[in-house]
Chains A and B, each alone.
Chain A
Amino acid sequence: MQPFIQFEAVSKSFGAHTVIDSLDLTIQQGEFLSLLGPSGSGKTTILMMLAGFERPTRGTITLEGTRIDQLPPHRREMGVVFQNYALFPHMTVAENVAFPLEMKKLPRAEIATKVERALDMVRLGQLKNRRPSQLSGGQQQRVALTRALVFEPRVILMDEPLGALDKQLREHMQLEIRELHKRLGLTIVFVTHDQSEALTMSDRIAVFNGGRIEQIDSPFVIYDTPRTRFVAQFIGETNLIEADVVNVQGGRATIALSDDLVAQVDAAPELAKGQKAWFSLRPERMRLGADPAGDNALTMTIADCIYHGDHMRVQLAQGQFTFTARCERLAGDWKVGAPVVVSFDPRDCTVLAP
Chain B
Amino acid sequence: MSRASARETLGALLLIVPLLAFLAVFFLWPLWTMVTAAVVDDTVSRVLPRTAAAIVSWDGRDLPPPQVHEALVADLRQANDQQALGETVRRLNSAVSGFRTLLSRTTSSARDGADPKTIDLAAVDPRWKDPRYWLALKDAVPPYTDRNLLAAVDMKRDADGAVVSEAPGASANRLIMFRTFLIAAIVTAACAAIGLPYAMLAAAVTGWKRSALLLAVLVPLWTSLLVRTTAWFVLLQNEGLINGALQAIGFIDSPLPLIFNRLGVVIAMTHVLLPFMVLPIYSVLLSVPRNLMQAAASMGASPLRAFWRVLLPLSLPGLLSGSLLVFMVAIGYYITPALVGGANDQMISSVIAFYATGTANWGLAGALGVILLLVTTILYLIYGRLSKSPQLLGA
A157 vs B296: C-alpha distance when bound (angstroms): 14
A148 vs B291: C-alpha distance when bound (angstroms): 14
Given contacts A88-B292, A89-B395, contact A73 B298 (CB under 8 A): yes
A230 interfacial contact with B, CB 8 Å: no
Name the interface size band of chain A: 20 to 34
Closest residue of A by beta carbon distance from B390: A133
Q: Is the CB of B291 within 8 A of A86?
A: yes
User: Chain B contacts of A148 at CB under 8 A?
Assistant: 298-299
A72 vs B298: C-alpha distance when bound (angstroms): 9
B368 interfacial contact with A, CB 8 Å: no
Q: Is the CB of A90 within 8 A of B394?
A: yes
User: Chain B contacts of A73 at CB under 8 A?
Assistant: 294, 297-298
A133 vs B289: C-alpha distance when bound (angstroms): 14
Contact with B along A71-105 (1 / 0, CB 8 A): 01111111110101010111000000001100110
A131 interfacial contact with B, CB 8 Å: yes
A53 interfacial contact with B, CB 8 Å: yes
A147 interfacial contact with B, CB 8 Å: yes
User: Chain B contacts of A77 at CB under 8 A?
Assistant: 300
Find B291's partner among A84, A99, A133, A147 (CB 8 Å cutoff): A84
Given contacts A74-B302, A84-B291, A86-B292, contact A131 B297 (CB under 8 A): no
User: Chain A contacts of B292 at CB under 8 A?
Assistant: 86, 88
Contact with B along A185-227 (1 / 0, CB 8 A): 0000000000000000000000000000000000000000000
Q: Is the CB of B295 within 8 A of A80?
A: yes
Given contacts A86-B289, A90-B314, contact A100 B297 (CB under 8 A): no
Give A122-181 interface residues, CB cut-off 8 Å to B: 131, 133, 147-148, 151, 157
Q: Is the CB of A80 within 8 A of B300?
A: no
SS class, residues of chain B in contact with chain A:
helix
Report A129 CB to chain B, min CB distance, Å: 14
User: Chain B contacts of A75 at CB under 8 A?
Assistant: 300
Closest residue of B by beta carbon distance from A144: B295
B46 interfacial contact with A, CB 8 Å: no
Closest residue of B by beta carbon distance from A74: B297
A52 interfacial contact with B, CB 8 Å: yes
A240 interfacial contact with B, CB 8 Å: no
Q: Is the CB of A90 within 8 A of B299?
A: no
Give A40-91 interface residues, CB cut-off 8 Å to B: 51-53, 72-80, 82, 84, 86, 88-90
User: Chain A contacts of B296 at CB under 8 A?
Assistant: 74, 88, 99
Give A7-28 interface residues, CB cut-off 8 Å to B: none
Name the interface size band of chain B: 20 to 34
Q: Is the CB of A99 within 8 A of B289?
A: no
Q: Is the CB of A74 within 8 A of B300?
A: yes
B105 interfacial contact with A, CB 8 Å: no
Contacting chain A: which of B176-184, B305-313, B346-354?
B305-313
Report A5 CB to chain B, min CB distance, Å: 16
Q: Is the CB of B297 within 8 A of A89?
A: no
B301 interfacial contact with A, CB 8 Å: yes
User: Chain A contacts of B393 at CB under 8 A?
Assistant: 89
Q: Is the CB of B305 within 8 A of A103?
A: yes
Q: Is the CB of B299 within 8 A of A133?
A: no
Given contacts A84-B291, A89-B314, contact A100 B300 (CB under 8 A): yes
A79 vs B313: C-alpha distance when bound (angstroms): 23
Which of A88, A104, A151 has the most B CB atoms < 10 Å from its CB? A88
Q: Is the CB of A53 within 8 A of B294?
A: yes
Q: Is the CB of A103 within 8 A of B295?
A: no
Report A38 CB to chain B, min CB distance, Å: 22
A53 vs B295: C-alpha distance when bound (angstroms): 10
Q: Is the CB of A133 within 8 A of B298?
A: no
A84 vs B292: C-alpha distance when bound (angstroms): 10
User: Chain A contacts of B298 at CB under 8 A?
Assistant: 51-52, 73-74, 76, 78-80, 148, 157
Q: Is the CB of A100 within 8 A of B299?
A: yes
Q: Measuring CB to CB, which residues of chain A are less than 8 angstroms from any residue of chain B?
A: 51-53, 72-80, 82, 84, 86, 88-90, 99-100, 103-104, 131, 133, 147-148, 151, 157
Additional 9 contacts, C-beta under 8 A, given A51-B294, A90-B394, A104-B300: A53-B297, A86-B291, A86-B294, A88-B394, A89-B393, A99-B296, A99-B299, A100-B300, A133-B390
8 A-B pairs closest in CB distance: A89-B394, A103-B300, A100-B299, A86-B295, A80-B298, A90-B394, A73-B297, A74-B297
- Of the A-B pairs whose beta carbons lie under 8 Å apart in the complex, a sample of 29, sorted by A's number, is A53-B294, A72-B297, A72-B302, A73-B297, A73-B298, A74-B296, A74-B297, A74-B298, A74-B300, A74-B301, A74-B302, A74-B303, A78-B298, A79-B298, A79-B299, A80-B295, A82-B294, A86-B289, A86-B295, A88-B292, A88-B295, A88-B394, A89-B314, A99-B299, A103-B301, A133-B390, A133-B395, A148-B298, A148-B299
Q: Measuring CB to CB, which residues of chain B are less than 8 angstroms from any residue of chain A?
A: 289, 291-292, 294-303, 305-306, 309-310, 313-314, 390, 393-395
